[in-house]
Amino acid sequence: MIFKKFFKKAKFEKRESELDSNIEEIPSHIAIIMDGNGRWAKRRAMPRIAGHQEGMKTVRRIARVADELGVKVLTLYAFSTENWKRPKTEVEYLMSLPEKFLDEFLPEIMERNICVQMIGEKEGLPEHTKRAINKAMEKTKNNTGLILNFALNYGSRAEIVKAMKSMMKEVQEGKLTIEEITEETVNQYLMTSHLPEPDLLIRTSGEVRLSNFMLWQLAYTEFWFTETLWPDFDEEDFMEAIQAYQKRNRRYGGLTD
C-alpha cells in the first residue's frame, strides 16, 4: 500500500487502514497557508531565513506525500502581496527560494510527472525569480500528475478586483451582458479558473484566519488548523488533516442520506 511508508510506527496502523478504506475520499485540491517559519527560527535563536530554508524542505516532503496519495492539486501560499513590507534582506532571500527549490527538486518533479503552476502577480517578481518559475512551468506543462500550484505575490482581494475589471471591460465592449453574469462567469475571470475549488485548507502555526488567501474559492472548503509550525509539519500531520476531512465528509454524507 502506498501509505505504508508514511506509517512505520504501530500506533498509526489503525489510521492507515482507515485512510485505505477511504481512498476515494482523498481531497482533490488541498490548499495550505505555510505559517510559522520565522517563529521556528526564533525559538532556535536562528535568523528568520533559516526558518524559510527549513520550510522549503517541508514543501518538498508534503509535495511528495500529496503526489503519493493521489491529490490532484496542491496550492501553497508562499508569498503574499503583504510580504513586501518585510525587511529587504528577508524579501531578497525569499525571492531566491523558487530558484533554489527548482534547482534541487525539478529532476524529481519531472520523474514524478508533477506540473508546476503559479497564481499571483508574476509581473511584480524579480526577473531572476520569474525566469526560474517560467522555466519550470514550461518544462512541466505537459505533465499530467499532481499540480503543484504556488501562490506567489498573491492577494485574493487584488485577484477579485482584477477579475471584476476585466469582466466589466467585456461588458463595456458588448461581449458580455450583465444578465449573463453568474457565479461561474466570475469564476472564469479568477486566476484559478482552470482548477477545482479547494476541498481542504490547512493553516499551520496556530493562526486562525485567511490572510487574504483564496476568499472566493474557499466558500465551501473544510478548514483544518494546527499549532505545528510549518518547518515541523510532516507526513503524519498531513495525513491527520486528510483524515479529519474524511470524517467530516462522512458525517455530512450521513445527514444528507
Annotated catalytic residue, options 22, 83, 143, 212 = 83
The count of other CB atoms within 10 Å of the CB of residue 182 is: 9
Strand ranges for the chain from DSSP E: 29-33, 73-80, 115-119, 147-154, 200-203, 222-225
CB nearer to ligand V07: give 130 or 247: 130
CB nearer to ligand V07: give 31 or 102: 102
User: Which part of the chain contacts ligand V07 (CB under 6 A), choosing from 50-58, 157-165, 207-215, 216-224?
Assistant: 50-58
Applying CB under 6 A, among 94, 109, 163, 190 the residue interacting with ligand V07 is: 94
Q: What is the largest CA-CA distance in the chain?
A: 64
Residue 3 as a binder of ligand V07 (CB under 6 A): the answer is: no
Residue 150 as a binder of ligand V07 (CB under 6 A): the answer is: yes
State in angstroms the smallest separation of the CB of 188 from ligand V07: 24
22 included as an active-site residue: no
Residue 136 as a binder of ligand V07 (CB under 6 A): the answer is: yes
The C-alpha cell of 155 is what? 492577494
The C-alpha cell of 40 is what? 521556528
Applying CB under 6 A, among 55, 120, 155, 198 the residue interacting with ligand V07 is: 55
Q: What is the 3-state secondary structure (H, E, C) of 56-100?
A: HHHHHHHHHHHHHHCCCEEEEEEEEHHHHHCCHHHHHHHHHHHHH
Residue 79 as a binder of ligand V07 (CB under 6 A): the answer is: yes
First to last CA, the chain: 31
- The 219-238 contact track toward ligand V07, x by CB under 6 A, reads -----------x--------
Residue 239 as a binder of ligand V07 (CB under 6 A): the answer is: no
With beta carbons less than 8 A apart as the criterion, state whether 75 and 29 touch: yes
Distance (Å, whole) CA 234 – CA 60: 10
- Backbone angles phi and psi of 53, in degrees to 5: -65, -45
Q: Which residues contact 253 (CB under 8 A, 6 or more apart)?
A: none
Applying CB under 6 A, among 3, 40, 101, 154 the residue interacting with ligand V07 is: 101
The C-alpha cell of 126 is what? 524579480
Nearest residue to the partner ligand V07, using Cβ = 55
> How far is residue 211 CA from its own chain's centroid?
14
State in angstroms the smallest separation of the CB of 159 from ligand V07: 17
35 included as an active-site residue: yes
Q: Which of residues 106-125 bind ligand V07 (CB under 6 A)?
A: 116
Applying CB under 6 A, among 26, 56, 66, 147 the residue interacting with ligand V07 is: 56
Q: Which of residues 20-49 bind ligand V07 (CB under 6 A)?
A: 34, 37
Q: What is the CA radius of gyration of the chain?
A: 19
Annotated catalytic residue, options 35, 67, 149, 153 = 35
Q: Which residues bind ligand V07 (CB under 6 A)?
A: 34, 37, 52, 55-56, 59, 78-79, 94, 97-98, 101-102, 116, 133, 136, 150, 152, 230
Residues annotated as part of the active site: 35, 83
